[in-house]
Amino acid sequence: MREASKSAVRVPPVDPLPLEGLIELIERRYGVDLRQYRQRFLGRRIRSRMMARGVADCTAYSRLLRDDPGEYDALLEALSINVSRFMRDRTAFSVLRDQALSPLLQERRSSSARRLALWSAGCATGEEPYSVALLLAESLQSRLSRWRLTVHGTDVSAKALAWARRGCYRPESFGDLDAPYVQRYFSSTVGGLTLERRIRDLVTWYRQDLRTTPPLPAYDLILCRNVLIYYDRAEQEAIVSHLIDHLVPGGYLMLGMVEMLPPSQTGRLVVVNARHRLYCRSPLS
């Protein structure tokens, strides 16, 4: 093993100047803002692609990107974190159901404005927005068709979104999902379990960067869980501000449990559940 490692391509640390050049190449092609990623994270991911292609420095990798456009897609996929599960962290989804979705449904039901708009930002392969759709289906039962429900799933990865649109998932996606959900809403097909069409039709998918303008101007609920950890502090602040800007007054925002609300944004939100990072936009913010 030691001898093999000596003969492997040795990739030096990605120094700032060539890295800036790579970032500009990718941004010009895709229109994504890679500077929002933490530099260490960005460097690790780029180095992994350089090693995979047997390239020893950033200059050579830049040439490879120009000569092989398909490498852009491979690099962009490497920069995406597509690890997800249905109801990832069951307790968090119970909190989401009881302390956000239920109040929203009750409010809209009593006002006869039976419509909700929800956004899962950085949704990877789609388990999160589908989980929200399942919670809505369980809550509304036969009344589901009487509501105008909009669920948007967005991600920068075209490959992940293609997977999400199929709605077919392998067993590892179901570790946190209670058996009754699987029995009621999924059927066995070649390659895994497929979500039934009426639930899939609740979700619309968009490929977009996290900080670009979402499809709707305002949402009743935004989920952005376990995404901020890949950005530096200044970008986290900008992203959370952007998300709050697209929440209706009284709308809910949920972050990941390890993610902290930037201090500059605390005055715009009311804490609903501190442990599970669930917040409500203040009517005055």
Q: Would you place residue 2 in the very low, low, confident or very high pLDDT band (cuts 50, 70, 90)?
A: very low
Treating both helix axes as pointing N-terminal to C-terminal, what angle do 102-111 and 127-140 enclose, rounded to 10 degrees? 50
Torsion-angle region of 31 (φ positive above 0: left; ψ -120 to 50: alpha; else: beta): left
Give the CA angle between residues 267, 95, 106 to the nearest 5°: 85
Whether the predicted pLDDT of 78 surpasses 90: no
CA dihedral sign, ordered 48, 153, 31, 64: positive
Treating both helix axes as pointing N-terminal to C-terminal, what angle do 58-67 and 39-52 enclose, rounded to 10 degrees? 70
Cα–Cα distance, 63 to 254 (Å, whole number): 41
Whether the predicted pLDDT of 111 surpasses 80: no
229: number of Cβ within 10 Å: 15
Rounded to an integer, the average pLDDT of 239-245 is: 96
pLDDT of residue 277: 95
pTM: 0.74
Cα–Cα distance, 204 to 88 (Å, whole number): 20
- Continuous H helices in 98-157: 102-111, 127-140
Tell me: the pLDDT tens digits for 128-161?
Answer: 999 999 999 999 999 999 999 999 999 988 888 9
3-state helix, strand, coil in the chain (%, to 5): 50, 20, 30
Least confident of 48-52, 53-57, 79-83, 180-184: 79-83
Instruction: Indicate the average pLDDT of the chain.
Output: 85
Cα–Cα distance list, 44 to 21, 23, 38, 183, 230 (Å): 16, 14, 10, 41, 12
Cα–Cα distance, 183 to 114 (Å, whole number): 28
Give the CA angle between residues 148, 255, 269 to the nearest 5°: 80
Whether the predicted pLDDT of 190 surpasses 90: no
Residues with Cβ within 8 Å of residue 132, at least 6 apart in sequence:
96, 101, 118, 120, 151, 221, 223
Least confident of 87-96, 133-142, 191-200, 254-263: 254-263
Rounded to an integer, the average pLDDT of 252-258 is: 91
CA 184 to chain CA centroid, Å, is 26
pLDDT of residue 36: 56
Q: Give me the residues paired with residue 203 across strands.
A: 151
Most confident of 80-89, 107-116, 144-153: 144-153
Whether the predicted pLDDT of 235 surpasses 50: yes
CA dihedral sign, ordered 78, 240, 225, 139: negative
Q: Report the DSSP pairing between strands 192-195 and 168-169.
A: antiparallel
CA 135 to chain CA centroid, Å, is 18
Residues with Cβ within 8 Å of residue 214, at least 6 apart in sequence:
119, 121, 152, 154, 206, 208, 246
Rounded to an integer, the average pLDDT of 203-212 is: 91
Whether the predicted pLDDT of 231 surpasses 50: yes
Tell me: the pLDDT tens digits for 25-64?
Answer: 766 665 555 665 667 777 777 888 888 888 888 788 888 8
